[in-house]
Structure 1
Amino acid sequence: MQKRMSSQFRVLLIDLLFDLMGSAVYAVGVHMFTAPNHIAPGGVTGIATLVNYLSGAPIGTVSLLINIPLVGLSYYFLGRSTTVKTLKSVLVMSVVLDIMVFFLPPYTENPLLAALFGGVGIGAGLALIFMRGATTGGTDIVARLLQLKFPYLPIGRAMLFVDVVVLAASSLVYRQLESALYGLIAIFACSRVLDSLLYGLDVGKMVLVISEKSEEISKLIISDLDRGATLLAGRGAYSGQDRFVVLSAVRKNQFYRLKQLVHEADPKAFVIVAEAGEIMGEGFKPIHDNTK
């Protein structure tokens, strides 16, 4: 029992460390590059940046106030486990954002460079937080809630809709179209960095896991990732032993966690990963042709 508590405490400390590092890098992107150049990088932070420009309210505090009702909805609809991790990361992010503003000199020489490096900083910061299975709330929660109503709606499309609204609002608040255009560049840079650090650039991964603990791994995929898994009967050509092969398809933002689950269950597992340019079926895109 004591060993288990010690292990849980160690995991919590590592989670907090990644939250702090990710939030610090995220704050560099916001306070050094995007906010001083009138760039709203989409999502809740973009909204908070606009509120900060209009009222002077701290970006971190405004982000927290926006996230509180979203976290409440997450707890009600998405469950306790997901919400606790999200709330932890939201609190750390908000505090770090409001503290780091006093230590980061703004860069205002070139708005294009500011948009690019702001996006890189925001994307790298998010990647560090996502690596521990947490999120920063905001549009991620909105997208997940929308998926409850529309199961086949891609999360990326739902988040893009929110970003477009924020970009349109930024051009009105700052009274210049360039703000929205630079914001679009920042969002693009953020998504590319995030994808490159965590998942690769494809919409999904197909994974085959060969292990003596195939059934345990399949249960972890179902319970932890909320994804399906299929056990395929197989036989080793060299050993002649019968065993199951786990087949599963996951979204790119779940792939890093899947690797962790497999390693935790069986460090000796043999894993084959294939890029899936398109995944159709329950939990992904509908099989029917959307162009008709």
Structure 2
Amino acid sequence: MGITYFVINVALIAIALKVLGSNFGVKTVFNMVALTLLFAIPQDLFPGALIKDNFLAAVLGGMMGGVGIGIVFSRGGSTGGTDIIAMMINKYRNISPGRIILYCDVIIIGSSYFLVHSIDKMVYGFVSMAVVSYTLDSILSGSNASAQIFIFSPKYEEIADFINTESFRGVTVIDGTGWYTQQNIKILMTIVRKKETSIIFRMVKEIDPNAFISMGSVMGVYGQGFDKLRV
């Protein structure tokens, strides 16, 4: 299995080098060599199945595979195979890698019936494929999740300066009117990664403990400092 995996990926990597750049190629070659060894060595160390239940093996294997591929994708690399196809398409089209891999694997697993002639194995393959796709998209969307924050505070200048200088994020100041008090107020609006929100909340609390904050998740953010718009 390891040798077959290595030979098939040579052609795909040659194409990906032109499309995705040399940096992608270096990471993918390293991953491909590592996976080739890991495909070959454990087959001798573990001649029998570690999990006897085929359905449980498909689910657990799919989860671990999705997490592993997600970590590799988030660092700009690939594990080879349909992952390379997914990365090349994702560069030009805003389609999730998990969905692309899902489409490719449907064709591959479906065609395997003509070789193995087993409905059971084909169904377990589809189960594992679906789990990998879902886990991969969850990992990628979680690492790139963004939040839109509105901050209402009379000390908006100090808070805006902190977000600009410390968090290196843009801030928009919006003019508003409190309808109950009929007073003019300033509203700060910023979009950041969710992992950055705790730092902003902590500093806002230090500057103005009475500040009013609203935060909502956003589906996609495109532009400087975030994702590139692909159409």
Where on the TM-score scale, by shorter chain, does this alignment land: which range? 0.5 to 0.7
Q: Deviations over 1:233-282 (max 9, x none)?
A: 359xxxxxxxx976368xxxxx9xxx6xx7xxxxx953898544577997
Alpha-carbon distance between aligned partners in 2 of 1:170 and 1:127, rounded to the nearest angstrom:
25
1:120 matched to 2:48? The reply is no
Say whether the 8 Å CA contact 1:120–1:189 is kept in structure 2. Answer: yes
Counterpart in 2 of 1:283?
A: 229
**Residue identity opposite 2:123 in structure 1:** L
The change in CA–CA distance for 1:160 and 1:106 in structure 2 (over 3 A counts) is: same
Alpha-carbon distance between aligned partners in 2 of 1:124 and 1:273, rounded to the nearest angstrom:
28
Deviation of residue 113 (structure 1)? 2.4
Alpha-carbon distance between aligned partners in 1 of 2:32 and 2:190, rounded to the nearest angstrom:
35
Alpha-carbon distance between aligned partners in 1 of 2:141 and 2:221, rounded to the nearest angstrom:
16
User: How many residue pairs were aligned?
Assistant: 189
Counterpart in 2 of 1:173?
A: 115
Alpha-carbon distance between aligned partners in 2 of 1:177 and 1:129, rounded to the nearest angstrom:
32
The change in CA–CA distance for 1:190 and 1:146 in structure 2 (over 3 A counts) is: closer
Q: Deviations over 1:121-140 (max 9, x none)?
A: 32344345446543212212
Q: Deviations over 1:204-240 (max 9, x none)?
A: 73345934155xx57xxxxxxxxxxxx33359xxxxx
The change in CA–CA distance for 1:186 and 1:153 in structure 2 (over 3 A counts) is: closer
The change in CA–CA distance for 1:248 and 1:75 in structure 2 (over 3 A counts) is: farther
Alpha-carbon distance between aligned partners in 2 of 1:103 and 1:142, rounded to the nearest angstrom:
32
The change in CA–CA distance for 1:74 and 1:191 in structure 2 (over 3 A counts) is: same
Structure 2 SS opposite 1:168? helix
Counterpart in 2 of 1:182?
A: 124
Say whether the 8 Å CA contact 2:146–2:220 is kept in structure 1. Answer: no
Say whether the 8 Å CA contact 1:205–1:273 is kept in structure 2. Answer: no
Say whether the 8 Å CA contact 2:90–2:97 is kept in structure 1. Answer: yes
Say whether the 8 Å CA contact 1:60–1:93 is kept in structure 2. Answer: yes
Structure 2 SS opposite 1:163? helix
Which of these residues, 172, 180, 198, is aligned with residue 233 of structure 1? Answer: 172
Deviation of residue 100 (structure 1)? 1.6
For normalisation by structure 1, the TM-score amounts to 0.51
- The runs of 5 or more residues in structure 2 that have no matched partner are 150-162, 175-187, 202-213
1:91 matched to 2:91? The reply is no
Deviation of residue 167 (structure 1)? 1.3
Percent identity for Structure 1 against Structure 2: 25
Say whether the 8 Å CA contact 2:17–2:25 is kept in structure 1. Answer: yes
**Root-mean-square deviation (CA), in Å?**
4.0
Task: Return the index of the structure with the highest Cα Rg.
Answer: 2
The change in CA–CA distance for 1:199 and 1:66 in structure 2 (over 3 A counts) is: same
Structure 2 SS opposite 1:283? coil
Deviation of residue 119 (structure 1)? 1.9
Alpha-carbon distance between aligned partners in 1 of 2:21 and 2:95, rounded to the nearest angstrom:
20
Structure 2 SS opposite 1:247? strand
Alpha-carbon distance between aligned partners in 2 of 1:102 and 1:132, rounded to the nearest angstrom:
31
Structure 1 SS opposite 2:171? strand
Say whether the 8 Å CA contact 1:171–1:178 is kept in structure 2. Answer: no
**Residue identity opposite 1:247 in structure 2:** I
Alpha-carbon distance between aligned partners in 1 of 2:28 and 2:46, rounded to the nearest angstrom:
26
Counterpart in 1 of 2:153?
A: none
Alpha-carbon distance between aligned partners in 2 of 1:87 and 1:119, rounded to the nearest angstrom:
23
The change in CA–CA distance for 1:133 and 1:179 in structure 2 (over 3 A counts) is: same
